[in-house]
């Protein structure tokens, strides 16, 4: 069991009611990797994360964390086993302060795990804003809080859904530096993005999903250097820009 992959998703099929959204989706994340799942609007990225988390359980297939089956478990049980989540749109308790949001998410850890103090060291801005209601933070600050909130749960794997959405380019670059730094400190991350070029820069491997099907898997740097291929895989026309 010790050589099991950190996350192994095998041939999952996920539905919303009668709509068959994910078709035999398989992917994996090794310990210490950033893996990106790229795809356009509606391709099935969020549904893939929801399937892993047990929020929209797949009807068939398997989702394993360190060899342990997650499919069929409730979302809180999946979280407790070590899967953190930074949701699309950074959902948080907008009427609670930064500190209160972190306190709600904090899960005690032994050794050198993430504490609120360590999150403040990493994101000094959050410390400055500790008493502010999170609904009054800027988009970039909210994204930092959403990441901080995931970290204090001390997950084995963090799922991050379109962190660059709605942020100014300079903030997005900062954010990606943060993800790279977290990886250097040992974090394992499954990132979903439309912003392909930036995501590929920080990732070791990539998958592309189109209409609920995985249409590509490979090394991130190879794909990063082949923009026509990214366009083709993501279903963009030659004259359409890759989302940034
Ligand atoms: N709650 C829902 N009920 C029914 N259909 C849904 C629901 N959520 C998403 N879908 C459909 O499932 C498909 C995949 O959606 P999903 O949200 O996974 O895409 P996405 O890749 O995350 O897109 P985006 O980049 O816009 O966030 C889309 O066709 C979408 O319309
Ligand atoms: Mg989405």
Fill in the DSSP letter of residue 133: B
Asked if residues 210 and 203 have their Cβ atoms less than 8 Å apart, the reply is: no
Q: Is the CB of 2 under 6 A from ligand 1?
A: no
Q: Is the CB of 25 under 6 A from ligand 1?
A: no
The structure's pTM equals 0.94
* Ligand at shortest distance from the CA of 51: 1
Q: Note the pLDDT of residue 112.
A: 74
Q: Is the CB of 46 under 6 A from ligand 1?
A: yes
DSSP per-residue letters across 153-190: T--SEEEEE-TTTT--HHHHHHHHHHHHHHHHTT--EE
Integer CA distances (angstroms), 157 to 12, 23, 80, 124, in order: 19, 23, 11, 24
Q: Which domains does the chain have, with CATH numbers?
A: 7-82+156-234 (3.40.50.300), 96-155 (no CATH)
Residues 97-111, mean pLDDT to the nearest whole number? 86
Q: Which of 19-28, 121-130, 171-180 has the lowest mean pLDDT?
A: 171-180
Q: For residue 1, is pLDDT > 70?
A: no
Q: For residue 167, is pLDDT > 60?
A: yes
């Amino acid at each position: 069991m010790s050589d099991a992959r950190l996350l192994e998703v095998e041939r999952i099929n996920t539905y919303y009611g009668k709509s068959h959204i994910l078709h035999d989706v398989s992917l994996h994340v090794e310990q210490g990797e950033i893996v990106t799942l790229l795809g356009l609007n509606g391709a099935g990225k969020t549904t893939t994360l929801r399937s892993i988390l047990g929020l929209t359980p797949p009807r068939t297939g398997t989702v394993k964390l360190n060899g342990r089956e997650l499919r069929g478990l409730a979302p809180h049980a999946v979280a407790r086993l070590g899967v953190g989540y930074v949701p699309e749109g950074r959902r948080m308790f907008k009427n609670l302060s930064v500190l209160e949001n972190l306190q709600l998410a904090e899960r005690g850890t032994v050794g050198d795990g993430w504490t609120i103090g360590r999150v403040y060291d990493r994101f000094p801005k959050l410390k400055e804003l500790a008493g502010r209601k999170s609904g009054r933070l800027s988009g970039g600050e909210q994204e930092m809080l959403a990441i901080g909130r995931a970290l204090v749960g001390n997950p084995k794997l963090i799922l991050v859904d379109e962190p660059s959405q709605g942020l100014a380019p300079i903030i997005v670059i900062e954010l990606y530096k943060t993800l790279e730094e977290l990886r250097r400190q040992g974090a394992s991350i499954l990132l979903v993005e439309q912003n392909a070029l930036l995501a590929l820069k920080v990732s070791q491997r990539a998958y592309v999903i189109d209409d609920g099907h995985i249409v590509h898997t490979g090394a991130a740097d190879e794909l990063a250097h082949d923009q026509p291929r990214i366009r083709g895989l993501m279903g963009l026309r030659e004259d359409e820009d890759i989302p940034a």
